[in-house]
């Protein structure tokens, strides 16, 4: 079992520019089935060994793709996501940074009645180690195992996966949900997927200041949690009102503070690491309970 991506995942790349080409090659090297790419006006040709299509509808019909990864520049990313949704793709993973909030609100409205699941934007993607990587994460940091992992931070995803791997704690699926104010798959829903996954033995939840996603994830685990969990909150030293890297990482009043998130996890019986280096030890302890 796995969450979101596995050996049957068939990926179309939307935006085969410099970044898209580089990461498409890395995904193929990992063994992910990258079956094509879209490039309007270039349909019927190939690039880097991938067949090109003018539209997502053509790509899905010709390749039986079930997933897309979006590298389209921010001003056009909304159209790319909507095109993938309209083509009936199961999963869209949007890597693009800086997508306007107004555009994402339009995408979110369409997703409410669609069967497509969106991960991102402004995230590193999803990896089921040993099966498929659909994203930009360095594969060498990850290893197969039973630890499910959800993170709002791309860099921390890589760092913590490496720490887990070095500690002998392989991962079932790692989901980078993205750090923007409006995203497709919020932290609580990603945690739910891992909580219901038979291959996941424990869950690591990496959050940031800003928003209420972590508090909602903690409440879900308090009432529905089947697996032990460990949390870490980045940005504890941020002053109120300070923007910290991600567009969604803004504290306003008592909302979205590190303290409120830590308190929510602790009240749900979930230990909170003070530093990423503490996470492997806390996971091992949680698994022994």
**Residues with catalytic annotation?**
246
User: DSSP secondary-structure letter at 166?
Assistant: H
Contact 202, 287 (CB under 8 A): yes
For the record, the structure tokens of 25 come out as: 């090659």
Please list, in sequence order, all residues whose beta carbon lies within 8 angstroms of the beta carbon of residue 50, skipping any fewer than 6 positions away. Answer: 13, 16, 24, 34, 35, 36, 37
Task: For residue 169, count other CB atoms closer than 10 A to its CB.
Answer: 22
State the Cα–Cα distance between residues 198 and 185, nearest whole angstrom.
20
Q: Which two tokens stand for residue 23?
A: 């990461």
In whole angstroms, give the CA distance from residue 89 to residue 184: 14
Please count the other Cβ atoms lying within 10 Å of the Cβ belonging to residue 214.
30
- DSSP-assigned beta bridge partners for residue 144: 171
Q: What is residue 168's DSSP assignment? A: T
Q: Check if the beta carbon of residue 15 is closer than 8 Å to that of residue 72.
A: yes
């Amino acid at each position: 079992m796995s969450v979101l991506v596995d050996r049957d995942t068939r990926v179309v790349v939307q935006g085969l520019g410099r970044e898209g080409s580089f990461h498409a090659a890395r995904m193929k090297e990992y063994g992910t089935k990258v079956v094509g790419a879209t490039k309007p006006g270039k349909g019927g040709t190939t690039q880097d060994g991938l067949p090109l299509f003018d539209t997502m509808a053509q790509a899905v019909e010709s390749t039986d793709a079930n997933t897309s990864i979006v590298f389209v520049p921010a001003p056009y990313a909304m159209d790319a996501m909507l095109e993938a949704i309209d083509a009936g793709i199961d999963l869209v993973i949007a890597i693009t940074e800086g997508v306007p909030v107004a555009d994402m609100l339009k995408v979110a409205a369409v997703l409410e009645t669609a069967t497509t699941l969106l991960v991102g934007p402004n995230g590193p993607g999803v990896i089921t180690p040993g099966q498929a990587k659909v994203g930009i994460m360095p594969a060498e940091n990850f290893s197969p195992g039973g630890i499910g992992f959800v993170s709002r931070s791309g860099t921390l995803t890589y760092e913590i996966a490496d720490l887990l791997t070095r500690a002998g704690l392989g991962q079932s699926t790692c989901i980078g949900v993205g750090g923007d104010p409006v995203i497709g798959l919020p932290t609580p829903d990603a945690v739910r997927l891992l909580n219901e996954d038979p291959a996941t033995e424990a869950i690591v939840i990496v959050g940031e200041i800003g928003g209420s996603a972590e508090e909602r994830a903690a409440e879900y685990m308090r009432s529905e949690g089947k697996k032990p969990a460990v949390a870490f909150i980045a940005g504890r030293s941020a002053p109120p009102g300070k923007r910290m890297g991600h567009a969604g990482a803004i504290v306003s009043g008592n909302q979205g503070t590190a303290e409120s998130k830590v308190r929510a996890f602790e009240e749900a019986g979930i230990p909170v690491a003070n530093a990423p280096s503490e996470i492997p030890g806390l996971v091992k302890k949680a698994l022994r309970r």
